[in-house]
């Protein structure tokens, strides 16, 4: 039997308690956890494989994410969100990689947005790699996004996962 790890959720962002929640996952072979982790944590590569992110900047540090990093980025048509790394654990033998950040947009109730985006990258038996990404969003913009069909967050995060795996497998810039 294979036990798969789960995202570590701060209580404020528990799935099902916010205004929008999305969960996307892939399990693949032919790629290593290390390569997936490298492309996931290096924000300078994001725009090369994911077209729903822009304007990534760090007031200091970067472009590799780590615990406590402060950065900003635009996504889903929102102005750049202020983000802060809240969990960073590099993958190791028998230990999954964990990455999460909060992202916020201030303003009145119709603009205020508070998000926790989390990633888990782990080896599975048989040379497989599992990548799970989940996000909880709080605020009126999140509630509006949750009502759109097709669901932009689910589709956007699936595109991010697909691009991440494509890049990590060395097929970036190819049609394969």
Tens of pLDDT along the chain (176 residues) come to 457 899 999 999 999 999 999 999 999 999 999 999 999 999 999 999 999 999 999 998 899 998 899 999 999 888 899 999 999 999 999 999 999 999 999 989 899 999 999 999 999 999 999 999 999 999 999 999 999 999 999 999 999 999 999 999 987 654 43
- Ordered by where they begin, the domains of the chain are 17-168 (3.30.530.20)
> In angstroms, how far is the first alpha carbon of the chain from the final one?
33
Q: How is residue 28 written in tokens? A: 């693949």
Q: Express each pLDDT in 89-125 by its tens digit.
A: 999 999 999 999 999 999 898 999 999 999 999 999 9
pTM: 0.93
Q: How many angstroms separate the CA atoms of 96 and 26, rounded?
A: 15
Furthest C-alpha separation in the chain: 50
């Amino acid at each position: 039997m294979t036990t798969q790890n789960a995202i570590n959720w701060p209580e404020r962002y528990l799935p099902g308690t916010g205004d929008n929640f999305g969960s996307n996952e892939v399990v693949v072979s032919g790629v290593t956890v290390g390569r997936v982790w490298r492309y996931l944590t290096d924000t300078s590569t994001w725009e090369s494989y994911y077209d729903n992110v822009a304007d990534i900047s760090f007031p200091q540090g970067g472009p590799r994410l780590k615990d406590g990093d402060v950065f900003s980025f635009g996504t889903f048509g929102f102005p750049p969100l202020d983000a802060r790394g809240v969990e960073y654990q590099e993958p190791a033998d028998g230990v999954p990689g964990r990455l999460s950040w909060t992202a916020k947009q201030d303003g009145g109730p119709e603009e205020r947005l508070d998000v926790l985006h989390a990633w888990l990258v782990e080896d599975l038996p048989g040379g497989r790699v599992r990548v799970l990404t989940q996000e909880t969003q709080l605020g009126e913009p999140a509630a509006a996004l949750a009502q759109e069909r097709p669901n932009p967050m689910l589709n956007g995060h699936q595109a991010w996962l697909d691009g991440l795996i494509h890049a990590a497998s060395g097929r970036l810039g190819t049609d394969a």
